[in-house]
Amino acid sequence: MATEIILKGRVQGVCCRMYCQQVARTLGLQGAVTNLFNGNVQVLLVTENSEQVKGFVEALVKNRFGFSFFGRISDAAVCSYQGVINGDYVWQ
């Protein structure tokens, strides 16, 4: 199972996908990230642990690790994800 996080704000064209990967790797999380057609970014984390998800979102919003990110996350909607994560796009 996985958790889906939809990031809203200035999140496309500002290195958001790479930023999400860096934060997730630092926290020991696996997943995938993609731009959506509506201007948001979808993050799929391979975890349902609410504390891990909460820590990930907080680290993203506050840039706790100081990674380069040129955008701004104004909202992060978290929900359960029932789909399949394509292995071609999963970072480890």
Say whether pLDDT at 90 is over 70. no
Say whether pLDDT at 62 is over 60. yes
Q: Give DSSP secondary structure letters for the chain.
A: -EEEEEEEEE-SSSSHHHHHHHHHHHTT--EEEEE-TTS-EEEEES---HHHHHHHHHHHHHTTT-----SEEEEEEEEEE-S---GGG-B-
| 78 part of a folded domain | yes
| 89 part of a folded domain | no
pTM over 0.85: yes
| 53 part of a folded domain | yes
Q: Quick one: average pLDDT of 78-90? A: 74
Report pLDDT digits (tens) over 35-55. Answer: 999 999 999 999 889 999 999
| 33 part of a folded domain | yes
